[in-house]
Amino acid sequence: MKITLEFNLPEDREEYENCYKGQDYINAIRDIVEFIKRRMDDDDKDTYYPYERVYLEIFDICKEHGFSPWEE
pLDDT in tens, 31-40: 999 999 888 8
Residues 6+ apart with CB under 8 A from 70: 30
Q: Could you give phi then psi for residue 11, rounded to 5 degrees?
A: -70, -25
Residue 29 structural domain = 22-64
Q: How many domains does the chain have?
A: 1
Confidence class for position 71, pLDDT limits 50, 70, 90:
low
In a domain, 72, yes or no: no
> What is the per-residue pLDDT for 2?
92
Q: How confident is the model at residue 64 (pLDDT cuts 50, 70, 90)?
A: very high
Q: Considering the domain boundaries, does residue 58 fall inside one?
A: yes
pTM (2 decimals)? 0.74
Q: Is residue 47 part of a domain?
A: yes
